[in-house]
Amino acid sequence: MNTSKGRILAGTAATALAFGISTVASAQAFYLQEQSVRAQGRAFSGEAADTGVDSLWWNPASIGGMEGGEAAIHASAIIPRGKVVDNGTVIVRPGQRPAPVGGDPVARNPINKGVLPSGAVAYGMGRVAFGLAVSAPYNFTTDYDAESWARYSADKTKLRTFDIQPSVAFMVTPQLSIGAALNAEYADATLSNYLPNLSPALPDGRQQLKGNGWDFGWSAGAQYRGGPVTLGLAYKSSIKHKLDGSITTEGLLGPLAGQNRSIDTSASFRTPWQAIGSVRVKATPQLTLNGQVIRYGWSKFDAIRLGAPVNAAIPENYKKSWTYAFGADYDVNPDLTVRAGIQHGNTPTRDGDRDARVPDSNRWNFSAGTSIKASSAITVDAAASYITFKDAPIDRITAAYAGTAAQTPVITNGELRDASALVFSLGARMAF
């Protein structure tokens, strides 16, 4: 491939790969935290310090000291809403004055509803316990209309991940549990966007990336269970994903028509690490108070790197961020527990780098839930959450065909407005 064609492909891929693996989710950016219904009911406020399989995703030490087995299964229905609004985005074609990008100026509810499954199982023999958690921590679909004002940075995006976490925990003392885990994670992504032809009278072209692959990380943690107070510390590593797949370009006309093709390539990016601190305090025989802080290493998601023959890096410029959560569990009687909590999360996206494919912002999570013992071995969990997102600018400048005579900047001026999400979850735990 000659140098000019390589630059054009790099530019168009940069437009497509603003990478779309982020959206209005329920935790931060493209991370979904619904891995436990019990946890959701208290707004994820005590998970690294709680025990049993429902805390295994956050802390592998949670199963330390188990006698016998426990299994859990969950499903969460996520219903997002919101608008992505154009406030005056312009496109600058070569040799032409800036012009409105056109299209429908309001994209309503571009993030699809979805159901998120998860589950875990563990078996303990006193000092040693083994567990396995299966989850989908990064998982969503967005769908903008072909006539949307955002079409040059976002069209259709789908990301599916499946994380398999085998874990082991060991009771060092009667109070101290330590644990470690491997995270084997599969990612499958499809994302597309439209491409402007050089004349505004011509219809748009289109580009689509597909890729998938397995990659690995690890988790480790500890719990100190000292009477009425339990402390938990855990760390989940960043995972470097490499997706092998292809980029397909079609619909370009005139001087750009030579770029209509499908090429094999790869894309790599990193998920954030997580450092988790949690405390649970049994204030009375019935009431347990919970607090949790998570530091996310989103700065690992600094760029998306495209392999040969494109050989380009698309900067993302994410920043480290925090979530803070507080909640309570109250045992009404031996068969019924109610809980509630509140969580605040800061977005890792920055003003000036946020696009329509990544309409993320600061959010508040208000949750409530319950657990009912259906029998001596089975407990049913239910939870509901309302998540509200702060309005935020959509203001990332992109350019098709960057670095060539055909370079076409899109100067984005938009806003995320009135965004919220409802999450309803149901699960069950069984002892054996």
Beta bridge partners of 392: 416
pLDDT at 1: 41
- Amino acid, single-letter form, for residue 230: T
Whether the CA torsion 149, 154, 157, 159 is positive or negative: it is: negative
> How do the residues of the chain divide into helix, strand and coil, expressed in percent and rounded to 5?
10, 55, 35
Which pLDDT score, from 0 to 100, does residue 9 have? 44
Q: Which of 60, 59, 58, 53 is nearest to 74 (CA)?
A: 53
* Per-residue model confidence (pLDDT) at position 196: 97
d(CA 322, CA 145): 33
Rounded to an integer, what distance in angstroms lies between the CA atom of residue 228 and that of residue 45? 17
Phi-psi region of 109 (alpha: psi -120 to 50; beta: other; left: phi over 0): left
CB 295 within 8 A of CB 47: no
User: What 3-state class would DSSP assign to 288?
Assistant: strand
Nearest CA-CA partner of 31 in 391, 301, 234, 245: 301
In 150-301, which ranges are continuous DSSP H helix? none
Three-state DSSP state, 85: strand
Contact 289, 328 (CB under 8 A): yes
186 CB contacts (<8 Å, ≥6 apart)? 161, 162, 163, 212, 213, 214
Among candidate residues 84, 63, 115, 75, the one with its CA nearest the CA of residue 357: 84
Q: What is d(CA 2, CA 270) in angstroms, rounded to the nearest whole number?
A: 30
User: What's residue 316's pLDDT?
Assistant: 86
Question: Could you tell me if 355 and 396 are in contact, meaning their C-beta atoms sit under 8 angstroms apart?
Answer: yes
Amino acid occupying residue 299: S
Per residue of the chain (432 residues), give pLDDT as tens: 444 444 444 444 444 443 333 344 556 788 999 999 999 999 999 999 999 999 999 999 999 999 999 999 999 999 999 999 999 999 999 999 999 999 999 999 998 898 999 999 999 998 999 999 999 998 878 899 999 999 999 998 888 899 999 999 999 999 999 999 999 999 999 989 999 999 999 999 999 999 999 999 999 999 999 999 999 999 999 999 999 999 999 999 999 999 999 999 999 999 999 999 999 999 999 999 999 999 999 999 998 888 999 888 878 899 999 999 999 999 999 999 999 999 999 999 999 999 888 789 999 999 999 999 999 999 999 999 999 999 999 999 999 998 899 999 999 999 999 999 999 999 999 999
pLDDT value at residue 16: 41
Q: What residue ranges do the domains of the chain occupy?
A: 3-431
* Cα–Cα distances in angstroms (integers) from residue 331 to residues 289, 295, 336, 410, in the given order: 12, 30, 6, 56
Q: What top-level class would CATH report for the domain 3-431?
A: mainly beta
Q: E strands, 150-236, where? A: 156-171, 176-195, 205-226, 229-236
Contact at 8 Å (CB) between 391 and 415?
Answer: yes
**Residue given tokens 């050989």 in the structure block:** 311
Give me 408's structure tokens. Answer: 């076409």
DSSP element (H, E) containing 242: strand 240-250
Residue 3, classed as helix, strand or coil, is helix
Q: What is the DSSP letter of 375?
A: S
Distances in Å between the alpha carbon of 343 and those of 40, 111, 140, 242, 367?
10, 22, 21, 32, 8
- Looking at residue 104, what DSSP letter applies? B
Residue 226 token pair: 């000292």
Structure tokens at 299: 């700065």
Q: What is the pTM of this model?
A: 0.92
Strands 128-135, 114-125: pairing is antiparallel
Q: Residue 44: name the closest of 357, 306, 366, 295 by CA.
A: 366
Burial class of 324 by CB neighbour count within 10 A (0 to 12, 13 to 18, 19+): middle
pLDDT at 26: 56
Alpha carbons 1 and 257: distance in angstroms, whole number: 15
- DSSP annotation of 126 reads S
pLDDT (0 to 100) of residue 27? 67
